[in-house]
Amino acid sequence: MRLVLVGPPGSGKGTQAELLTDRLKLRYIGTGDILRDAIRRGTDAGKLAEPFIKVGNLVPDAVVNDLVKELFESPDAPRDFVLDGYPRTRAQAIAFDALSKKHHVQLDAVLNFKIDDEEVVSRIGGRRICSNPACQAPYHITARPPRKPGICDRCGSPLTIRSDDKEETIRARLRVFHQNTDTLLEYYEKLGLLKNVPTTGEVEEIYADILKQLPKTSSS
């Protein structure tokens, strides 16, 4: 089985990626892992990517495509996998199409974790963390509230919001996500690969829903 997972942070994609990897014995391929690995091994694409990572810039499509190409052309090339974070744009999807045809690892499905922007803002924006560096206990204002508002149950320190979890940061990330993803999803829809996955409900219910939507036989 060869899958691509698409969804913003807070959509539950990470949890389902773990379950799919584990239970269907797939290899998990996250863009961050490929990047770090290529840089560590000093591959050609890793060398191209490193300066972007160092200054915190987004790695350009062409470099990301090269990284994935290196992986699929290596002796350790994956056969059955969950791709998380790639392809992130339509241009990357087109490049991956060509690559996967060449190596006979065409995708079986693209799972779209469709979630309303406001729901993402409330899920992530509600996260709080203990400000005590030695504690850092996580909370959520509705899903996992502390006994006393704004105060850590464990150590009594005030709770704080991580900069990644601030509303303006989340909204900025969502804007970029939609800019890239809307045309990506359209592309996969046309190929008949797109499956919409629910993002509310119990983890196991969502997993069962995904299984039902997966093609019965994996082309290998």
Binding residues for ATP, as ranges, are 10-15, 127, 201
Handedness of CA 103, 104, 105, 107 (dihedral sign): positive
Question: Alpha-carbon distance 96 to 72, whole Å?
Answer: 10
Strands 109-113 and 2-6 turn out to be parallel
Residues 71-130 that bind Zn ion (CB under 5 A): 130
Number of residues that bind Zn ion (CB under 5 A): 8
154 to 193: interface string for Zn ion, x by CB under 5 A? xx-x------------------------------------
CB 28 within 8 A of CB 77: no
Catalytic-residue membership of 13: yes
Catalytic-residue membership of 23: no
| Known binding-site residue numbers for Zn(2+) | 130, 135, 152, 155
One of 2, 90, 123, 127 is an active-site residue; which one?
A: 127
End-to-end CA distance of the chain: 8
One of 2, 13, 90, 128 is an active-site residue; which one?
A: 13
CB of 153 to Zn ion, least distance (A): 7
Examine residue 144 and tell whether it contacts Zn ion (CB under 5 A). Answer: no
Strands (E), the chain: 2-6, 27-30, 81-84, 109-113, 127-130, 138-140, 159-160, 194-197
Which residues does the annotation mark as catalytic?
Answer: 13, 88, 127, 162, 173
